[in-house]
């Protein structure tokens, strides 16, 4: 049965990726549990806490033990956790060495550490794709550095900008998320080995030594203290996934609006039939954008669930831990889908600079009313210039003339500014401010 959106055989490929599904698949989870048990056995064998022969056998054969999945499912349902059922089967398959498996560990040690291994792999996949997204945004920013378009505030024309600056702003979000990723890794990629009560009491005075050796085996950080119920690292990971999908959704919202017929400034890549309607043949719906926006909403809720799940009682939680089993894997899976859709969209984004210029000119120069005001301010004063231009804008709208035409008919303007100067001030291309230079600054920033 394939009952979730992620696993759905005809929708799943839209909302996640095969690579991320492989990281969090049930078989992969069992493999990471086994990796953790092997690392513990190797560490203890090297330190003489269990026979080195037993440690070698565990390391060499644990992954070869054929698991009875029906039995594992049945026993997990009964126990409530998968580790004891898994250890039983592994121990049976390992012969005499099996009695040294899971030495001094507790269930949560194995599950937490395995999750961290999956997080490490998931973060690596996301980093790779986010860097590819950044490459596409750098390309777009460079190509359209000087491409003028209408900047919009409150969905209305505000001032001219360039499409290159718009994509450079998107790039900044991605670069900052990559920077955050490097900062969170040392806090998050830390293993768990603390024993039943979080004190490693079962290993006497060798507990911390085993812990350090085990983490070296796995290439993970060594915890300063037990984090069985201190879940800030996992919660931080979920918040980072929320930030990534939020950034992608901002891009998606902009693109989906610019795809509207009234704008028609950019379009997702054309693929025959993509975004088609079952009844309206003219439709070209923003499919990638919709998936990215939907993913951001989903991950935002999962990030909240991770925060809620981090509030845990005493030394072992009664319920919140299980909430993490939902929040972290699903957040990774939806984020992977969103990043994949972003990469597809940006790699073939169709940009219509002619339509951008047409839209920019559609208000007859009203978009550069501020430029005219600032041009008149030295002569009239800033407030008087504002009132004059405000009146000119109202007249232009009511009479359906351009702002330049109206200004040229106003003596209070023409006695201070020539017709040629009015034409210059009313041309949006002359009022891009430092937009191109901001793009240059963004492109000079080192990639994280």
Q: Which region, left, alpha or beta, applies to residue 264 given φ > 0 means left and ψ of -120 to 50 means alpha?
A: left
The residues annotated with a catalytic role in the active site are 154, 277
């Amino acid at each position: 049965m394939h009952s979730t959106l992620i696993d759905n055989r005809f929708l799943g490929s839209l909302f996640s990726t095969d690579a991320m599904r492989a990281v969090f698949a049930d078989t992969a989870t069992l493999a990471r549990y086994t990796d953790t048990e092997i690392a513990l056995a190797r560490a203890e064998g090297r330190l003489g806490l269990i026979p080195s022969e037993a440690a070698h056998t565990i390391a060499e054969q644990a992954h070869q033990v054929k698991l009875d999945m029906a039995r594992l499912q049945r026993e997990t349902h009964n126990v409530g956790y998968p580790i004891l059922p898994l250890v039983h089967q592994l121990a049976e398959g390992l012969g005499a060495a099996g009695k040294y498996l899971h030495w001094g560990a507790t269930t949560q040690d194995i599950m937490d550490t395995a999750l961290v291994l999956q997080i490490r792999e998931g973060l690596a996949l996301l980093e790779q794709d986010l860097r590819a997204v950044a490459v596409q945004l750098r390309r777009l920013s460079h190509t359209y550095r000087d491409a003028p378009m209408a900047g919009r505030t409150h969905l209305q024309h505000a001032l001219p900008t360039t499409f290159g600056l718009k994509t450079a702003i998107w790039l900044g979000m991605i670069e900052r998320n990559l920077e955050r990723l490097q900062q969170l890794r040392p806090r998050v990629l830390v293993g768990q080995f603390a024993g039943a009560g979080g004190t490693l009491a079962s290993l006497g005075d060798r507990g911390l030594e085993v812990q350090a050796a085990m983490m070296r085996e796995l290439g993970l950080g060594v915890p300063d203290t037990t984090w069985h119920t201190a879940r800030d690292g996992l919660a931080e990971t979920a918040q980072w996934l929320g930030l990534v999908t939020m950034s992608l959704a901002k891009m998606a919202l902009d693109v989906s609006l610019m795809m509207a017929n009234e704008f028609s400034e950019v379009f997702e890549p054309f693929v025959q039939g993509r975004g088609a309607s079952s009844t309206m043949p003219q439709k070209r719906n923003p499919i990638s954008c919709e998936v990215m926006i939907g993913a951001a909403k989903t991950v935002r809720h999962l990030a909240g669930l991770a925060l809620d799940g981090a509030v845990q009682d005493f030394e072992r939680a009664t319920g919140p831990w299980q909430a993490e089993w939902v929040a972290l894997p699903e957040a990774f899976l939806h984020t992977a889908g969103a990043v994949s859709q972003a990469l597809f969209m940006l790699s073939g984004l169709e940009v219509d600079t002619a339509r951008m210029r047409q839209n920019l000119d559609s208000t007859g120069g009203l978009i550069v009313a501020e430029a005219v005001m600032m041009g008149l301010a030295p002569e009239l004063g800033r407030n008087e210039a504002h009132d004059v231009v405000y009146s000119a804008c109202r007249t232009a709208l009511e009479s359906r003339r351009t702002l330049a035409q109206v200004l040229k008919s106003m003596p209070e303007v023409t006695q201070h500014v020539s017709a040629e100067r009015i034409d210059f001030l009313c041309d949006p291309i002359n009022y891009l401010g430092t937009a191109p230079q901001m793009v240059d600054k963004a492109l000079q920033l080192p990639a994280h």
